[in-house]
Amino acid sequence: MQLPPHWEKLATTYFLHHNVVALAQDLLGKIIVTNINEQLTAARIVETEAYQGITDKACHAYGNRRTKRTEIMYAAGGVAYVYLCYGIHYLFNVVTNHANHPEAVLIRAAEPIIGEAIMQARCQHKGLPTQGPGKLSKALGITQALNGFSLQSNTIFIASDGYTYPANSIKSSPRIGVAYAKEDALLPYRFFVCNNKYVSGKQ
DNA sequence: CCAATGATTGCCT
DNA sequence: GGCAATCATTGGC
């Protein structure tokens, strides 16, 4: 696989950062790359959410809950956490922090860079292929089979081309669809690039 | 064992 | 704006 020369795969150490909220914000502008069934696709991340470990009621690992599903969140950062939501959609998360600190960043939306036609086709050419976490996974070819995959693999990883969004174009808000988390539902852990058409929901 | 429920989307009115 | 689709995971019995 040949990437553009100035793209650099993010190293494992990047994902070991202890502040998942800061990491969620920093991931805006980075590029998610998948190479599935010989189909290369890449998209620049424009919307993320932080899930802050065992004290965050919205996090699957709240209360140190360890189940077959959540187990991968307890691994050291730099692996994929993929799970099925509403019985229909695969949601892609990046596990962060050191082992036994179960934190993750949900990647909610991205702007296509490479393989836009592949993404459109995977989404049956309906609407923007990478707007919203379910469609994004579908467009990138992400399924449960990728759960636990290392982001150092060549199948799925995150790269930087040095681009960053200006600080004044980044906004935060409460996370989407977590009303059940009561007071933690109000935490401003969603980050997005404003005026970007791929961002889901309200801006 | 079984019923309830979601980190959503798309189609319908 | 409302709601059905659709199923793995979860927790209670």
- The Cα A198–Cα A108 span in angstroms is 9
A2, pLDDT greater than 90: no
Quickly list DSSP for chain A. ----TT-EEPPHHHHT-S-HHHHHHHTTT-EEEEEETTEEEEEEEEEEEEE-GGG-TTSTTGGG---TTGGGGGSPSSBEEEEEETTTEEEEEEEESSTT--EEEEEEEEEEEE-HHHHHHHTTT-S-TTBSHHHHHHHHT--GGGTT-BTTSSSEEEEE-S----GGGEEEEPPTT-GGGGGGGGS--EEEETT-TT--S--
pLDDT band at A144 (very low <50, low <70, confident <90, very high): very high
Q: How is chain A split into domains, by residue range?
A: 8-193
**Which positions of chain B lie under 7 Å from any protein Cβ?**
5-11
- Residue A124 confidence (pLDDT): 86
Which amino acid residue lies closest to nucleotide B10, measuring CA to C1'? A126
Q: Under a CB-based contact definition with an 8 Å cutoff, are residues A104 and A173 in contact? A: no
| Interface residues, strand B, Cβ cutoff 7 Å | A 49, 51, 58-60, 81, 84-89, 91, 93, 104, 106, 123, 126-127, 131-136, 175-178, 180, 200
- Residue A179 confidence (pLDDT): 87
Lowest pLDDT segment from A40-54, A70-84, A157-171, A188-202: A188-202
A202, pLDDT greater than 80: no
pLDDT above 70 covers a percentage of chain A that reads: 100
pLDDT band at A3 (very low <50, low <70, confident <90, very high): confident
Q: Under a CB-based contact definition with an 8 Å cutoff, are residues A15 and A26 in contact? A: no
Q: How many Å apart are A168 CA and C8 C1'? A: 40
- pTM value is 0.95
- CATH of range A8-193; options 3.40.50.970, 2.102.10.10, 3.40.50.300, 3.10.300.10: 3.10.300.10
**CA of A144: nucleotide with nearest C1':** C8
pLDDT band at A109 (very low <50, low <70, confident <90, very high): very high
Q: How many Å apart are A60 CA and B7 C1'? A: 9
**CA of A89: nucleotide with nearest C1':** B8
Q: How many Å apart are A84 CA and C11 C1'? A: 18
A196, pLDDT greater than 80: yes
Q: How many Å apart are A4 CA and C9 C1'? A: 40
Q: How many Å apart are A69 CA and C8 C1'? A: 9
**CA of A147: nucleotide with nearest C1':** C8
- Residue A143 confidence (pLDDT): 95
Predicted confidence (pLDDT) per residue in A50-91, tens digit:
999 999 999 999 999 999 999 999 999 999 999 999 999 999
**Which positions of chain C lie under 7 Å from any protein Cβ?**
5-11
Average pLDDT over chain A reads 94
